[in-house]
Amino acid sequence: MRDDIRDLKAELRRAALARRDAMTTEARIEASLAIADHVAALVDITPGMPVSGFLPIRSEIDIRPLMMTLADRGALLCVPAIVEGRLVFRQLVRGAPLEPQGFGTYAPGADAAIFDPELMLVPLAAFDRRGGRVGYGRGYYDGAIASLREKGMNPRLVGIAFAVQEVEHVPMESHDIFLDVVVTEAGVAAGAATPSVGAAN
């Protein structure tokens, strides 16, 4: 059964990423800017709030303009880094050098501060209207979110995707974590959306 779910997720991932790859560069830029506007209007940021984002790889959405907007509101930005097989979130500072992490990703170096984000902007391969998420198949984000919850934290989870990445149904296993909301260029597309998803409970 588990292998069947894995195979289905792999097919959903492949198809959704193929649709994403097929977008023109211009369409991705316009959609990325629209998503930045939607998320900026949706979330509340308090000064000093740790917010995790991500640096784009391949045809992934570019949320750097959004991250700069949130930083201007007082967010402390961090991005994922792979350390001993798990995800941690290192502070992202303008002008600081980045190091390759594998898989085409980059992150600040080991001397960067590590944050526990209260708001997480989460990349994904595919999503459904419930906030179900298909990641890139390595389970890093599910593990990182589970670790934060073990610390008593409840970070708000905002999935970021293009509309073409939506699928009808994502099969969820016990370790999979639903997103609070998914935002695309069309607006809020999925999850338990509320007028404000900024502050952790």
Quick: pLDDT tens for 129-151: 999 999 998 889 999 999 999 99
Confidence of residue 3 (pLDDT cuts 50, 70, 90): confident
10 labelled binding-site residue: yes
Q: Is the pLDDT of residue 201 over 90?
A: no
109 labelled binding-site residue: no
β-strands 105-108, 187-191 pairing:
unpaired
Q: How far is CA 33 from the centre of its chain?
A: 16
Give the rounded percent of residues in the chain with a pLDDT score beyond 90: 80
Q: Is the pLDDT of residue 62 over 50?
A: yes
First to last CA, the chain: 35
92 labelled binding-site residue: no
95 labelled binding-site residue: no
**Lowest mean pLDDT across 88-97, 98-107, 160-169, 181-190:** 98-107
Q: Look over the chain and give the mean of its residue pLDDT values, rounded to a whole number.
A: 91
141 labelled binding-site residue: yes
75 labelled binding-site residue: no
Domains and CATH numbers, the chain: 2-191 (3.40.50.10420)
State the pLDDT at residue 137.
85
Residue 115 makes CB contacts below 8 A (sequence gap 6+) with: 50, 52, 76, 78, 89, 90, 91
**Lowest mean pLDDT across 4-13, 24-33, 50-59, 185-194:** 185-194
134 labelled binding-site residue: yes
pTM across the whole model: 0.91
**The two three-digit tokens of residue 111, written as one number:** 């001397």
Residue 103 makes CB contacts below 8 A (sequence gap 6+) with: 57, 136
Confidence of residue 95 (pLDDT cuts 50, 70, 90): confident
138 labelled binding-site residue: yes
> Could you give the dihedral angle defined by the CA atoms of residues 78, 81, 86 and 88, in that order, rounded to the nearest 10 degrees?
-20
166 labelled binding-site residue: no
Give the Cα separation of 68 and 83 in Å (integer): 25
**Based on the number of CB atoms within 10 Å of its own CB, is 18 exposed (0-12), middle (13-18) or buried (19 or more)?**
exposed
Q: What are phi and psi of 37, to 5 degrees?
A: -65, -45
55 labelled binding-site residue: yes
Q: Is the pLDDT of residue 152 over 70?
A: yes
At residue 32, the 3 state secondary structure works out as helix
Q: Is the pLDDT of residue 196 over 50?
A: no
Confidence of residue 1 (pLDDT cuts 50, 70, 90): low
13 labelled binding-site residue: yes
Answer for the pair 52, 89: CB distance below 8 angstroms, yes or no: yes
Comparing 4 with 3, the larger pLDDT belongs to 4
Which residues on adjacent β-strands are paired with residue 127? 133, 166
139 labelled binding-site residue: yes
136 labelled binding-site residue: yes
